């Protein structure tokens, strides 16, 4: 049976709000947390991952994936960058 990986969607809030969300997931027993961001929120996701990595012992970045999504109305679509950062808590 596989473990459901909690996903935290990064948006416009301050990075510390997302750090608290990640810490709450790790404290509730999760060993993996996925940060997902698009566009301008990518820098907040990176900041969140770095703060978590430095503050919580045993947390490391396991994988980073980048991509592009097309958003907007049909005929007026535009590309938006995406990033996912997988954090793992080692025992």
Instruction: Give the CB-side neighbour count of residue 80, counting CA atoms within 13 A.
Output: 13
What pLDDT does residue 35 have?
A: 98
Domains of the chain by start residue, with CATH: 7-89 (3.30.110.20)
Q: What is the pLDDT of residues 16-72, one digit of tens each?
A: 999 999 999 999 999 999 999 999 999 999 999 999 999 999 999 999 999 999 999
Residue 82's nearest CA partner among 37, 41, 47 is 37
Alpha carbon distances (Å) from 82 to 10, 20, 54, 87: 11, 22, 24, 17
Q: How much is the pTM?
A: 0.92
What pLDDT does residue 14 have?
A: 97
């Amino acid at each position: 049976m596989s473990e459901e990986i909690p996903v935290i969607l990064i948006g416009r809030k301050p990075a510390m709000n997302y750090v608290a969300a990640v810490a709450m997931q790790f404290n509730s027993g999760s060993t993996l947390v996925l940060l997902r961001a698009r566009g301008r929120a990518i820098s907040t996701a990176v900041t969140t991952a770095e703060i978590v990595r430095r503050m919580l012992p045993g947390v490391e970045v396991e994988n980073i994936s980048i991509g592009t999504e097309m958003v907007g109305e049909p005929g007026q679509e535009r590309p938006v960058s995406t990033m996912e950062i997988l954090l793992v808590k080692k025992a």
